[in-house]
Amino acid sequence: MAQQQHLIRSVEPLHIGQFLIVRVEIDHGVVGYGECGVWGHIEAAATAVRHFAGYLVNKPAFAIEHHWNVMHRYSYFQGMAINGAISGIDIALWDIKGKVLQVPIYELLGGSCRSKARVYGHIYEKDIEGVLKECKRKMKLGYTAFGHINPFLDEGNDVSYFKTHVKKMEDAADNVRRMRAVVGDKVDLLIELHRRLTPAEAITFCAMIEDCRPMYVEDPVRPENVDAMARVADRIPVPIATGERYSTIYEFQAALSRNALEYVRVDVALCGGITGAKKVAAMAEAHNVQVVPHNPLSPIGLAACLQLDAAIPNFAIQEYSTGFENGIFMSTTEHLGSNIVDWVPPVVDGFVDIPTGPGLGVNLVPDAQNIRPPFTQPIAMRPHLDGFVVDQ
């Protein structure tokens, strides 16, 4: 018997709060959702979604790998806004396929390796006392790992920055020691450096915090130059995690081949959706590297990550976004964007259940656009005392 085609009828970007959701509908009214990870340039990614819609409408929805290749290769113009759009569309098509076949996406990827995923919560604070207080609060909530925990602190853009090299290093290293003293061995620290350091600074700082046993340091230097990241990785005693700013599988291939990382931070909503992330996870597996999916997004993005987490053997831990409401560095207890979906898996003893419903297992609520009107992150960077800018 010939398989029904299930043609795509519409592809629509939805700007909801600080999120860009993709809504794809096929014949018979089945709707799938995805998310684009380019939160800093939502309008550009939305334009790319509309452009791809012209190709996708009236095409078979199940031909996901074929569409993925066409969207990446038809003109060979790529980049974050374009690849973020491809990612959102790809996730929505997987959601549709799972819904039509009445299975979770992980069943379409080879079946589940696990039923739960360990998660880490975000900690955003402007001073170390706030960080330590939030550590204690999240420990009580059952978390066993903290990420976006920044020893250089999440200070605002309203105050210019300057410290001598020695004070910059000592202050941050002391903050890590104080974090470890508060959490003991009950919590893993995933130290977020957010491209803050030069290679020389990264080498110095990571040597200073070795005895605190962080699970990893993330993006100690800017990730564009793989050779620089590899140079740092070769000279520090702490594992590196990177990849959240990579939008193609080839960037990961370059980093893996140069031994520039021990944890792959693939962003499912940026690096080609579930199709792209599964390719990255396979490359990482061949290099004995673990996967920590990046998700500072809504529960739609989280659900896509969890479907991947269920299906790969080299999953380590999942980002569970507790903060960054409207771009503000402030910690929360609930997952970011919880009010725009019908379900968010709760954290219990440091883990969440993998959604088992059809497709993503999570759906957008009907009035999501009214709940969260569109928000665009303003362009701003913190100034250095000398007049230049600081990555943070």
Tens-place pLDDT, residues 261-306 = 999 999 999 999 999 999 999 999 999 999 999 999 999 999 999 9
Contacts of 244 (CB under 8 A, 6+ apart): 218, 219, 223, 265, 266, 267, 270, 294
Comparing 7-105 with 107-358, is the CATH topology the same?
no
323 forms beta bridges with 331
Domain boundaries, the chain: 7-105, 107-358
CATH hierarchy code of domain 7-105:
3.30.390.10
Angle at 134 between CA 129 and CA 137, to 5 degrees: 130
d(CA 52, CA 180): 48
Is the CB of residue 24 less than 8 Å from the CB of residue 14? no
Class (C level, CATH) for 107-358: alpha beta
What is the model's pLDDT at position 176? Answer: 98
**The pTM of the whole model exceeds 0.85:** yes
Count of Cβ atoms closer than 10 Å to residue 283 Cβ: 18
Show pLDDT as tens, one digit a residue, over the chain (392 residues): 345 789 999 999 999 999 999 999 999 899 999 999 999 999 999 999 999 999 999 999 999 999 999 999 999 889 999 999 999 999 999 999 999 999 999 999 999 999 999 999 999 999 999 999 999 999 999 999 999 999 999 888 888 999 999 999 999 999 999 999 999 999 999 999 999 999 999 999 999 999 999 999 999 999 999 999 999 999 999 999 999 999 999 999 999 999 999 999 999 999 999 999 999 999 999 999 999 999 999 999 999 999 999 999 999 999 999 999 988 889 999 999 999 999 999 999 999 999 999 999 999 999 999 999 999 988 999 999 999 999 88
Q: How far is CA 132 from CA 147, 180, 182, 211, 385, in A?
A: 13, 10, 7, 19, 28
Q: E strands, the chain, where?
A: 8-16, 19-26, 31-36, 116-122, 145-149, 188-192, 216-218, 240-242, 263-264, 290-291, 318-320, 351-353, 382-383, 389-390
DSSP secondary structure string for all residues of 246-310:
--SHHHHHHHHHTT--SEE--BTTTTTHHHHHHHHHHHHHHTT-EE--B--S-HHHHHHHHHHHH
Tens-place pLDDT, residues 228-260 = 999 999 999 999 999 999 999 999 999 999 999
